[in-house]
Amino acid sequence: MMIKRFTLFVSLLILATATYAQESKFAPKREFRGVWIATVQNIDWPTKAAVGVNPAAQQQELIQILDEHQKTGINAIMLQVRPSTDAFYAKGREQWSRFLTGKQGLAPEPFYDPLEFAIQEAHKRGMELHAWINPYRATTSLVDSLTSPDHITRKTPEWFFSYGDKKYFNPGIPEVRSYIVDVILDIVRNYDIDGIHFDDYFYPYPGKDPLPDSTAYMQYGQSFANIEDWRRNNVDVLIESLGENIRSEKRHVKFGISPFGIWRNLAQDSLGSESNGLSGYSALYADARKWVQEGWIDYVNPQLYFPFHYAAAPYEKLLDWWAANSFGKHVYIGQGVYRAMEDREGWRNRQQLPNQVRYLRENPNVQGSVYFSSKSLTNNLAGFRDSLQHNFYKYPALHPQMQWLDDTAPAAPSELKEKKFLIFKSNKKAKLRWERPQDEQVYGYVIYRFEEGEPLNLENPKHIVKVIFDHTLESYDDESIRKGKKYQYVVTAIDRLKNESAPSNAIKAKF
């Protein structure tokens, strides 16, 4: 009998260990879970931008979008605030976007500041807000009537060139680079953002014609061996300058870039990836590997919108390459949810995206994902949102730490006492109270709850009840308690970069 009991005990222990290992494997406590909300051409928000649209309707639409992403488990919003040398914000030097009000230069009426509103709503939900900016795209059309007479393309036309059906800043002109830095610093100084984010648009994607920047090259690039090296240096100078200036203004504001998925192919460079597609280094003059290696950016977010084993750009090979070239910075994988229903290559397998999440979680040098785009995710293409909400993102996650920016934990909350623990049996609500730390670095709190007999393991995210971005709070109402249960609670403090304090004292409560 003793042998049978011991065997049963060992079996249960193995099962418990395996279950916890699986939870740890597929539910990391820290993970970046982002989504791009595209405003250009009204892809995601606002869906209507005609003159006279009620701003209240736009605000409500954004609230609904954020609510849906919160349910999914998203913890970071990449909001496109400068789609084409225009603005979804008031406190800057560029004109209002026509994708907001239907006419470039026309302010919302009644007035509101979309970026300020979005930051407040994102932070209410424990989400970071990264201001997504297109640095060089000046217009999305060559039709002059779509731009205001006061638009910068008309005021300083010598700063721009036309290519394809768009206008672009010429990155080789020093005044252009200075202007773009100033535009971005307006946002950093004036808004409570968590990050500045660029996508893959640097020099334009190549067409049949050469880029019309030879005059600028003759004026500014004669110290370079060729025009390609000069172009790459032009982008490098901007990225380096921005990294330095952002950190100088606000140390906690992260700077990240989402480059094209291939830096260079192995056939082009011994440091390149096992791929055979277009190279961001050669086609867009974007040396993303260098930006990470030099420490100019805090995270790289390569757009790996490809399936496993795709000949030109295999997802698994590219992910492994970016992870191996992270140089201690963060890697978040850009995943193309919009492709989930395609009838081609690996996309016919509706498990393609879930399998991509599983694969990236196997790599310790990858800290999360960003999904394109918001609408594709909320529309639950191929059931992928369900996979996130009910499986991968079932439990909350703190954002990954960036020790190179700050690694000092804030002071812990205190005085979490049972006598201050109030139970409202009528509506099954528990009210936690604690003593707010006298530490100016405290930005918010994490509430943990454990059932009777469970170890107080703060590394298991299933115990996180709530992540709060509000340092002024000294209480939290837990409305998810169950009758007949015994719980223990602890609270920790987090700073702006999500460094976490030691836990408060634990308290017990019986329902």
Render 42-64 in DSSP notation, one character per residue. GSSS-S---TT--HHHHHHHHHH
Evaluate the omega torsion of the peptide bond into residue 414 and state whether it is cis, within 30 degrees of 0.
no
* Confidence (pLDDT) at 483: 81
Distance CA 64, CA 83 (A): 22
Distance CA 168, CA 177 (A): 12
Distance CA 313, CA 66 (A): 32
- Residue 136, C-beta contacts closer than 8 angstroms, at least 6 positions apart: 168, 169, 171, 180, 201, 202, 203, 204
Angle between helices 315-324 and 352-361 (to 10 degrees): 20
* Confidence (pLDDT) at 427: 57
Exposure string of 38-59, with b = 16+ CB inside 10 Å and e = fewer, is: bbbebbbbbeebeeebebeebb
Distance CA 235, CA 173 (A): 11
Return the number of other C-beta atoms located less than 10 Å from residue 420's C-beta: 15
pLDDT in tens, 83-139: 999 999 999 999 999 999 999 999 999 999 999 999 999 999 999 999 999 999 999
509 has which bridge partners? 487
Which amino acid is present at 364?
A: P
* Confidence (pLDDT) at 6: 36
pTM of the predicted protein model: 0.93
> Is the backbone of residue 70 left (phi > 0), alpha (psi -120 to 50) or beta?
alpha
Exposure string of 333-353, with b = 16+ CB inside 10 Å and e = fewer, is: bbbbbbbbeeeeebbeeeebb
H-only helix segments in 102-226: 114-124, 152-155, 174-190, 214-220
* Confidence (pLDDT) at 4: 39
User: What residues in the chain have per-residue pLDDT under 50?
Assistant: 1-24, 419-426
Burial classification of residue 3, based on how many CB atoms lie within 10 Å of its CB (0-12 exposed, 13-18 middle, 19 or more buried):
exposed
pLDDT in tens, 321-355: 999 999 999 999 999 999 999 999 999 999 999 99
Distance CA 493, CA 477 (A): 17
Cα dihedral 225→229→235→240 (10° resolution): -70
- Residue 104, C-beta contacts closer than 8 angstroms, at least 6 positions apart: 86, 95, 96, 97, 98, 146, 147, 148, 151
Which of 333, 338, 347 lies closest to 385 in space, CA to CA?
338
